[in-house]
Copies of this chain bind each other. A is one copy, B any other.
Amino acid sequence: MAAVEPSRSRLVPMDRVEALALLAKAPFGRVVFSHQALPAIRPVNHLVEASGDIVIRTHTGMALLGRAALSEVVAYEADDLDPVTRTGWSVVVTGTASPVSDPAELARYQAALTSWVEADMEHVVRIRADLVTGYRLVRGGTGS
């Protein structure tokens, strides 16, 4: 029953500061939300504020997230994992997402954050970094 398997990695948790620093340098991430009561996920790019809040730009295809005054709890994930060495990291921020409507803030974010995708309608959404978790996958299985 106990088949021989390749050496596995260990999960090592990281703290909020390290997790947000990695997220800030990541070129993109994935926003996780509910759409019609189903789990939904979309890759987007982002910026990380000094407060740790995440700011993304969304288009019409992203459904709920862009809607007027709606706030909802979402997750935002980025990772950098090497399938060959099975090492790397993953960070998840969980918090309330709400649309940015202040014109000065909107202008600032639109200048600082270029959406990858061409779209007619666009919203800027801020995700409050209420909960920040992250881990590194490091070598060091029982077999080593």
Interface secondary structure of A, over-half rule = strand
With an 8 Å Cβ cutoff, the count of chain A residues facing the other chain is: 44
Known: A28-B83, A83-B27. A41 touches B75 (CB 8 A): yes
Inter-subunit contact A81/B43 (CB<8 Å): yes
Is A71's beta carbon under 8 Å from chain B?
A: no
Inter-subunit contact B116/A8 (CB<8 Å): yes
Identical copies in the complex: 2
B residues less than 8 Å from A114 (CB atoms): 5-6, 8
The 8 Å CB contact of A75, one of B28, B40, B73, B111, is B40
CB distance from A46 to the nearest CB of B (A): 12
Known: A30-B77, A83-B28, A107-B1. A8 touches B41 (CB 8 A): no
